[in-house]
Chains A and B, each alone.
Chain A
Amino acid sequence: MEQLKTIGRELAMGSQGGFGQSKEFLDLVKSIGEARSKAEEDRIVLREIESLKRRIVEPGIPKRKMKEYIIRLVYVEMLGHDASFGYIHAVKMTHDDNLVLKRTGYLAVTLFLNEDHDLIILIVNTIQKDLKSDNYLIVCAALNAVCKLINEETIPAVLPQVVELLGHSKEAVRKKAIMALHRFYHKSPSSISHLLSNFRKKLCDSDPGVMGATLCPLFDLITNDANSYKDLVVSFVSILKQVAEHRLPKAYDYHQLPAPFIQIRLLKILALLGSGDKQASEHMYTVVGDIFRKCDSSSNIGNAVLYECICCVSSIHPNPKLLEAAADVIARFLKSDSHNLKYMGIDALGRLIKLSPEIAEQHQLAVIDCLEDPDDTLKRKTFELLNHWFIQTMNKVFEHAGDLVNIKVAHNLMRLIAEGFGEDDDTADSQLRSSAVESYLHIIGEPKLPSVFLQVICWVLGEYGTADGKFSASYITGKLCDVAESYSSDETVKGYAVTALMKIYAFEIAAGRKLDILPECQSLIEELSASHSTDLQQRAYELQAVIGLDVRAIGSIMPSDASCEDIEVDKSLSFLNGYVEKSLEKGAQPYIPENERFGMVNISNFRNQDQLEVTSHGLRFEAYELPKPSVQSRTPPISVASSTELVPVPEPSYYRETPQTAPVPSSSDTGPSGLKLRLDGVQKKWGRPTYSSSSASTSNSSSLKVVNGVTQVDGVSSGNSKTHETSYDSRRPQVAKASSHASERFHTSKSTTIYSADNAVEKPNLVQPPPDLLDLGEPIVATSAPSVDPFRQLEGLLDSTQDPGTFGGTKAPDFMALYAETPAGGRSAGVALPLSLNRDGDNLIPGLSNASSNTVHGGTTVTNPSQISKGPNVKEALEKDALVRQMGVTPSGQNPNLFKDLFG
């Protein structure tokens, strides 16, 4: 009875020229439309599922009704519920001869099924049949389905017909056939490798739509193999020229711009073909220059084309005029009030600075503004740019200054990459790391990189090479082995490379992956195990030991991404108390503090000792020096500690300038036994140091450097790295201290070996320094500026507003602050913004598309013909309103928006 009523209504509405759907469907849509919550919507859908399950299997359902059921199934799945009970009915509908039913059936199966679904087999036959249909609309419907449902196995079943359709008289069919081939290329490139020439041919199709579609597969082909398509450069240029000159039918215009989407795709293709190819690029200059000149910069779509021009210009062989035009557009984007344009501007800037770094300076302020913007998307994008920029600038510093770059700079860089911006923004930090890894992998193959730079590269690759999952362990380890091989005479670099290898392998083991040790790594390890350098031997053996450990052991000795964890030094060695007590009970002699044995230590002893340090960490074959009192004073107080030393090298042989190569015995003790070092007097972050008696050793070393510093101010230029280093430290003790702390983190973080940057800081030293020495460092800090400091240059780039007075000892913290503070401010601002959804929906188009760009270029009128001509068509809206009311769909208070004109 009820069904009869429904049919009656349906018939009635059909005659009224209504929407042609049943009251039932209209009610369903209406109730879904008016559901106030997800829960209510779910209840409606669940009821609908029950009803459909019952009714879809009833016999003799009219086709039209069935079509409605299928669409109701689409609703069910769209709203997140399973409609698999009805899939088979959608499949059946594809067999129908009626075009509308068939196409609805195909639509539903492409929405419901993935290419590997069992039901596909029931559709392939139908598709084959439909591809041969006389009705081109049926052929088109089948080709749509081909593009969604055909997988590698079923390609052969339809391929011959698809190829045949490339010559169909209807352009719509040719276009879809090309896209079907495109799909096959994605699923199985080999399946159509003999058919690639078709794409070239269809580029010359008489129909611009077919030509435009053909650009899609060509873009992918050229992405994979640009060299095979260089001959098409001239064709692409000529097509682009014709398009830009308005030679395509008006129907392809969008907001008065000739076929902008085709222009954009052509520009993308040219960017690929012109990359690293001067000759090809020269063909493109004129047409790209024309577009720059002619393109309407007041509309969104015009700016989209201009943005693509910038991408193209920054990819092809550089041309000064085009770069200039690109820079002008970027300046306009960045100055715009529109956040969308700013975003595009930042992105474009990132592309262009690779070619002309000087444009970066012009836009400093605009970039800083974006960094402070409450819009998180924009801020993130800007961070990305700055990271990239920063890494690139650092790369340049290393490349140009080479080995003159102080090792501290390298340590600072590693620290920055490891610690990030001192913010909780992990994404930004990992972005910086990924950015660094990518950039280093790119640069690593270049010949003759400076040693310091290679150390940074190896460290970063070891620490973060595999972190974002973009690069495999075997790829990274291969690169590291290459480095060790190419710079075989540089033991420091080799040391870094081996430790990096160890980290990568440890992370692999920790992640539960099977270790894949490349043969070249294996032979490198073997070679280094027999090295003359004790340091390299040590590292090689440790690497071998680590590889053999299980997941749990690895997790505790090499925790992943723990380079920033603090290491605590138990300076009182309290963990030995029990042992000491036991020994005393057994009658051992109690310990007498050193100063009680020898009194105050003379500074000159230290200095002498310092100068006596040998400059090599290889095996020494000459006799050791005679023991001196001061040497004794520095030996660890309790003999037990030294007995566990892995490599009992006498202390004076450490060379402080190449700290990373000097194994510190005490650390080897603490590592495996799980004991933590604690540095009471050493600050964690940059800042003013708190020199206390507990950190006596620190003040010792800095005051010592002051003494040295006086003697070798003029020695800096002599290239003596040792004296240079020392004077650097004496000027900026805080920085030196912090960075030595950083480097010690770097060294100790997760390995069993600690390679100390500054022994004096780490080692428990019971010597009390003369108190007046503490003050010596301070005034010098404030007065002298460093001779070469790339950080300072960076600051100039990044923050022009910085107060010059803050330079000196505290400059590094300021640099950090640039990174650290802005996101914080931005975040809080973002939170504070009202999450207003109640915007006036009536004026959306101008607001989104044109208004913002128009205000910038003051006075340009919005040229949106469809909009102007349209206006609110009251009559049409009223008619529609009357119609739906007649059908029983009345706008309720709950969701009147259903009736709101999208264009307002």
Chain B
Amino acid sequence: MGIRFILMVNKQGQTRLAQYYEWLTLEERRALEGEIVRKCLARNDQQCSFVEHRNYKIVYRRYASLFFLVGVDNDENELAILEFIHLLVETMDRHFGNVCELDIMFHLEKAHFMLEEMVMNGCIVETSKANILSPIQLMDKTS
């Protein structure tokens, strides 16, 4: 299945976006997010961007105050996921312009829409920024 969840969490451990590609109950999500965030936030620059947790591998990357964490299966290419995160941030940046944490908070649904274009069934299905953003731009126009 590849990607099992995508989380955006800030430095204080507050969730800013959560998308799961397999069903977890609210309690399970809460527990999992707590554990992962604690684990990843405690790491430093010298350590690699991959953490094994339960049966997931977490690939994470930090941008300013915001951490992007992607939970993947064991046979996923970690470096590629790391770059997928960067592609996501680049895409959001293209849309919002100098994207910051607040943009994602104010436009949570748009951040989700972008993810919906990029990832389906836990697989990366679209990597062209133009293709990812075009439905969102069209919606902006109609509304």
Contacts and interface: CB of A to CB of B under 8 A. Distances in A.
Q: Which of B44, B83, B87, B124 has the most CB of A within 10 A?
A: B83
A902 B93 contact: yes
Contacts of B129: 251
Contacts of B86: 300, 845, 849
Nearest to A19: B106
A897 B16 CA distance: 13
A899 B100 contact: yes
A336 to B, nearest CB: 11
A842 B47 CA distance: 19
B84 to A, nearest CB: 7
Contacts of B63: 841, 844-845, 902-904
A770 interface: no
A29 B66 CA distance: 16
A433 interface: no
A738 interface: no
Contact of B11 (A176, A311, A380, A897): A897
Range, interface on chain A: 35 or more
A868 to B, nearest CB: 13
A873 B10 contact: no
Nearest to A836: B44
A54 interface: no
Given A186-B121, A902-B64, A71 B108 contact: yes
Given A839-B45, A897-B101, A21 B125 contact: no
A262 B135 CA distance: 22
Interface residues of B, number: 75
Nearest to A852: B45
B93 A374 contact: no
A867 to B, nearest CB: 9
A261 B46 contact: no
Contacts of A870: 93
Contacts of B105: 29, 32-33, 898
Contact of B120 (A33, A147, A339, A837): A147
Contacts of A841: 62-65
B98 A873 contact: yes
B122 to A, nearest CB: 9
B65 A340 contact: no
Contact of B99 (A35, A300, A897, A902): A902
B127 A375 contact: no
Contacts of A904: 63-64
Nearest to B102: A898
Interface string A58-95: 00000000000001001101111110000000000000
Nearest to B142: A99
B131 A140 contact: no
Contacts of B90: 866
A342 interface: yes
Interface in B19-42: 19, 23, 26, 29-30, 33, 41-42
Interface in A19-70: 19, 21, 26, 29, 32-33, 35-36, 38, 41
Nearest to A380: B52
Contact of B125 (A213, A376, A877, A889): A213
A339 B46 contact: yes
Contacts of A300: 79, 82-83, 86
Given A71-B108, A340-B78, A38 B102 contact: no
Nearest to A77: B26
B139 A137 contact: yes
Identify whether the interface residues of A are mostly helix, strand, loop, or mixed.
helix
Contacts of A301: 79-80, 83
B80 A260 contact: yes
A127 to B, nearest CB: 15
A41 B14 contact: yes
B29 A80 contact: yes
A672 interface: no
A191 to B, nearest CB: 15
A338 B46 CA distance: 8
A345 B124 CA distance: 24
Interface string B124-143: 11111111000100110011
B47 A375 contact: yes
Nearest to A250: B128
A837 B127 CA distance: 31
A833 B44 contact: yes
Contact of A340 (B49, B107, B109): B49
A551 B15 CA distance: 45
Interface stretch (A302-310, A389-397, A411-419, A569-577): A302-310
Interface string B55-67: 0000001111110
A409 B94 CA distance: 63
Contacts of B142: 99-100
B98 A176 contact: no
Interface string B112-127: 1100100011011111
B124 A261 contact: yes
Contact of A900 (B101, B106, B112): B101
Given A147-B121, A175-B125, A254 B106 contact: no
A862 interface: no
Given A80-B15, A115-B23, A841-B63, 7 more contacts: A264-B77, A300-B82, A304-B83, A339-B47, A841-B62, A898-B65, A904-B64
Q: Which 10 A-B pairs have the closest CB atoms?
A: A897-B65, A339-B48, A304-B79, A216-B123, A251-B128, A841-B64, A902-B63, A304-B80, A114-B23, A179-B120
Interface of B: 1, 10-15, 17-19, 23, 26, 29-30, 33, 41-42, 44-52, 61-66, 77-80, 82-84, 86-87, 89-90, 92-93, 97-102, 105-109, 112-113, 116, 120-121, 123-131, 135, 138-139, 142-143
26 contacts: A21-B106, A29-B102, A29-B105, A33-B101, A77-B26, A80-B15, A98-B143, A209-B126, A212-B126, A251-B129, A254-B127, A264-B80, A300-B79, A301-B80, A304-B77, A304-B80, A304-B83, A343-B50, A847-B45, A848-B61, A866-B93, A877-B98, A895-B12, A895-B65, A902-B66, A904-B64
